[in-house]
Structure formats: structure tokens, C-alpha cells
Amino acid sequence: MPNTVDFPTTPFIRWFVKDNEGLDRGTRLKLLEGPFTSRAALVAAGINTLLVCSVAVALHPTVFFISWLVVDMVIWIIRWFLLQRFVASDKPRFPYATDLSLFFGLLWAAEIGIGTAGCIISQDAVLQVLACTSAVSMTGAAAMRNQGVPRYAFMQILLMDIPMKLATLFQPEPILRVLILQAPMYLIGLWVLLNNLNANLTKAYVAETQSTHSATHDKLTGVLNRLGILNILTASLSAKVNEDKRFCVLCLDLDGFKKINDAYGHAAGDSVLVCFSAMISRVVRKGDAVARIGGDEFIVTMPDSDKASASLIAERIIKNLDEYTDRNPDYRGLGVSIGIAETLPLELSSVEQVLCRADIAMYNAKSAGKNCYRFG
């Protein structure tokens, strides 16, 4: 699956992918991936249109049909080159890559529509049947492949279908003009189909996102859970080995939390946990991660940081918790003990070793009088 797809930047092309704007960015990017995901689909479409164009040139070697064949091949080659940049992750990005890919998709659809119109006007029954059958199959393929961006898919369908229908006005067989009467029902049906397909695909992506979030986040506080933070720690250790970077891990445990739970009930304890999680999330840096790993135990990962940065964050957490207890007299006596483990460049450590060092440092902080931090 491509990992370089991004939203188009030009206003004209961006308008075609403005569907589902109420969704989060990640889900919208997944919906946009349709036009960029399959070499096989592009190859099949290219063979199909190439055959029709070649038959048209063989039967009627006119300037129009020869030009159609050349234009079709040039557009296909450009689209193939652009697709390669998205499917192959080692290919470098270039400016307006998404815009160009979507634009040439529209140009390809218009070229098919105009070529099909020429086949109808030619009055050649073989070409008429072959070209119309091909165009209809291409509209169905566009609907299925680009269901994540229905506005874009429908524009492709219009560019292929309308020239074909209008061409019936310029040939002598009147019965073919029935296609014009049929057009509204056909296009409305495709629009309804596109929106139904998009709704189902969107539901699937949203459900997948929610499932992933539930698996890696704590239900009470909304921060990461044990699985979520372990995934980040594993990735951080891998990045450190590959990039010679250091990072710090903070292990936090609330002091006096059990007394609050016993005195005021679990609802009050849950409120403290939610407030504490929110406070930590506000204090840490943008790239840091916060997790509740159970009870009143928390972990903070700080990539690309040293002891000075970790100390600053630990001091801010302690200070903010003190201010919180000052505002809430019932929670006086609540504190936090913090253990910090720093990993150095070229140091080979497992996730378990790093967490163990941070945990030992946290217990050293408790032994030192609580509501303070120590290094492992």
C-alpha cells in the first residue's frame, strides 16, 4: 500500500477529493488511496483502451483515430510513471505528485470519452459496439477503484459517458439517440452506487481506526495503554540503533492515591487519574508519548532527549500536581514519584531492561521521600 499519498495542493484538483471532510486526516488519506494502489488495474485498463484504439486505426486509419491511439499511449505511460512513484516506497517524492496523478486520470477519462464519440460518429457498427462496451466497462471500473473519492470518480464517469451520448446526435441512426434518454437514469444510478460504496468503505475504515485505538489506548484516561506504549518503545529502540539517538523513559507512580480511593470512592479516584493524565499530556513535548499501564502507574517516553530535558519535564509534572492538590484540598497528600531511565547512543537495551531501570529509579524516588524524581 502506498505510503506517500497526500492531499492535492492545487485548488482545482483538491475540489475533487473534498468528500468526507468530517473524518480525521488518516481515514481521508486511506479513502484517497484508491487511484494509487494497483498496477494491475492500470495495466488492464491500458490493454483494453489500446485494443479499441488499435482496431479503430486498423479499420479507419484517419488522423483522428491515429491521434487517439498516440494520445492514449502517451497518457498511459505518464500515468504508469506516476503510479510507480506511489507504489514503490523507495522512489523520491516530487512536487504536485498527487495533483498530476489525479489530473491525468481525468485526462484519460476525457480521452476515452472523445475517442468513443468518434467511433459512434464513424457509423462503423463494429467500432460502435466495441467502443461503447469498452467505455461502459471503464465507467464501472472507475466507480469501483475510486469509491473512496466519489466526486472524483463521478467526474471520470461524466467525462467518459457524456461525449458518447452527445455523439449520437451526429450520426444518421436515430434509434441510437435513445442513449441520451437513458443517460439521466444511468448517471443517477452510478452516483447512488458510488455514494453507497463510499459509505460502506468509510464505515470499514472508521471501524478499523476505532478498533486500533481501543486496542492501544486506556479507556478511562484516553492516553496509551501498556500495548500502545510498548509498541512505541520498541520502535524508539530500533530508531536509536539505526540513527544513534538517545531517549528517556519516565516511570511515574502516584503517592497517596490509595488513601483517596478509600476515603472518597473509586469515582473520585478515577477523576484524579483522568486529571493527572490530562496534566501530563499538556506538560510533555509534542513528540512525547504518555501511557497508563495500570492502576496509578504511568509511563512517558521522550525520544531524542537527554537527562536535562527529562528532569525539566519531571519537575513540571511534580509542580503541576502540587498546584492541583492546592486547588483541591481533599486531595492533599497526593504526590508523584518519578524514575527516569536514559538510553545512550550505541547502547543495546531491550524494552524490558529500559522499563526495569526506570521502575527501579521510581522506587528509589519513593525511598527518598516521594514526590521527587531519580535517575536509573
pLDDT grade for 312, boundaries at 50, 70 and 90: very high
CATH 3.30.70.270 residue spans of the chain: 226-375
Of 254, 321, 264, nearest in space to 292 by CA: 254
In the predicted model, is pLDDT for residue 49 greater than 90?
yes
Residues 136-142: what's their mean pLDDT? Answer: 90
8 Å CB contact between 291 and 299: yes
The yes-or-no verdict on residue 2 having pLDDT over 60 is no
Pairwise CA distance, residues 342 & 236, whole Å: 12
Q: What is residue 372's predicted lDDT score, i.e. its pLDDT?
A: 93
The CATH fold of domain 226-375: Alpha-Beta Plaits (3.30.70)
> What would the mean pLDDT of 106-118 be, rounded to a whole number?
96
Task: Report pLDDT digits (tens) over 197-255.
Answer: 999 999 998 888 888 888 889 989 999 999 999 988 888 777 655 456 778 999 999 99
- Please give the mean pLDDT across all residues of the chain: 88
Q: According to the model, what pLDDT value does residue 93 have?
A: 61
- What pLDDT sits at residue 3? 47
Is residue 360 predicted with pLDDT exceeding 90? yes
For residues 285-295, average pLDDT: 91
pLDDT in tens, 143-198: 888 999 999 999 999 999 999 999 999 988 888 888 888 889 989 999 999 999 99
pLDDT for the residue numbered 52: 95
- Let me know: does 79 contact 108? Beta carbons within 8 Å: yes
